[in-house]
């Protein structure tokens, strides 16, 4: 599986909905995120059950450590490296 250039995997989930919840948490903290692999569910695209091989939650590589902290429940401050207007 390929991944977007400049992005890194912050977490892998077995269920699509878990990845989507974490994506929403990151975005609410101001960290851009995207879910890859949601189309590979057991019953095909659009089904949010188990995903064969997992679902990857991606963030900009520069935001990886902050994203991990957010997902662990710690507060982070905006960064000029990945925040609004960066890149």
- Write out pLDDT tens, residues 19-43: 999 999 999 999 999 998 865 555 5
In a domain, 86, yes or no: no
Q: What is the domain-level CATH number for residue 32?
A: 3.30.70
In the chain, how many domains are there?
Answer: 1
Residues 6+ apart with CB under 8 A from 70: 25, 26, 29, 31, 76
Q: What is the pTM of this model?
A: 0.71
On whether the CB atoms of residues 58 and 77 are closer than 8 A, the answer is no
- pLDDT value at position 5? 79
pLDDT band at 2, cuts 50/70/90?
low
- pLDDT value at position 38? 61
Domain span at residue 32 reads: 7-71
């Amino acid at each position: 599986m390929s991944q977007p250039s400049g992005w890194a995997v912050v977490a892998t989930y077995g269920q699509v909905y878990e990845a989507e919840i974490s994506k929403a948490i990151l975005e609410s903290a101001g960290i851009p995120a995207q879910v890859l692999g949601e189309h590979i569910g057991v019953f095909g695209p659009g089904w949010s059950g188990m995903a064969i091989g997992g679902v990857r939650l991606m963030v900009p590589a520069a935001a990886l450590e902050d994203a991990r902290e957010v997902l662990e429940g710690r507060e982070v401050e905006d960064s000029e490296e990945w925040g609004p207007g960066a890149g």
